[in-house]
């Protein structure tokens, strides 16, 4: 799921896509996928692509979607993973990577390089 979500975000040109393994800190989800989108339109496109790919490729359905109105921070809840799509100023303000600094951090590009061949 994480690889598909990261791939979808990168397909829509999201930047600084990272994965935090929060399974040991949270009992409600295993991973946060965090991405930056340059504007509202791109944030919506990234969110839509992630939702579409997870549904079509893995038959995973969205449990909740928040932040649609102004798309400064869109949250996609797939239970096992939660995707956060930020516009740059909001990502800087909320600093999830710092808040969850004790979590193992992976770069999306590293996940793609480790994909099954």
Contact call for residues 72 and 36 (beta carbons, < 8 A) = no
SS3 for 63? coil
**Domain coordinates in residue numbering, the chain:** 2-106
Tokens coding 2: 């994480």
**CATH topology (fold) of 2-106:** Beta Polymerase; domain 2 (3.30.460)
- pLDDT under 70 in the chain at which residues? 108-117
Question: How high is the pLDDT of residue 104?
Answer: 87
Question: How high is the pLDDT of residue 106?
Answer: 79
Give pTM, 2 decimals.
0.90
Question: How high is the pLDDT of residue 113?
Answer: 52
């Amino acid at each position: 799921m994480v690889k598909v979500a990261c791939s979808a975000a990168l397909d829509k040109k999201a930047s600084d896509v990272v994965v935090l393994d929060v399974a040991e800190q949270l009992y409600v989800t295993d991973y946060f996928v965090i991405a930056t989108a340059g504007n509202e339109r791109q944030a919506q496109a990234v969110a839509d692509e992630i939702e579409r790919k997870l549904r079509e490729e893995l038959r995973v359905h969205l449990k909740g979607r928040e932040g649609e109105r102004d798309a400064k921070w869109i949250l996609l809840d797939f239970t096992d993973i939660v995707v956060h799509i930020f516009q740059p100023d909001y990502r800087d303000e909320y600093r999830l990577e710092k808040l969850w600094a004790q979590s193992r951090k992976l770069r999306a590009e590293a996940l793609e390089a480790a994909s099954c061949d």
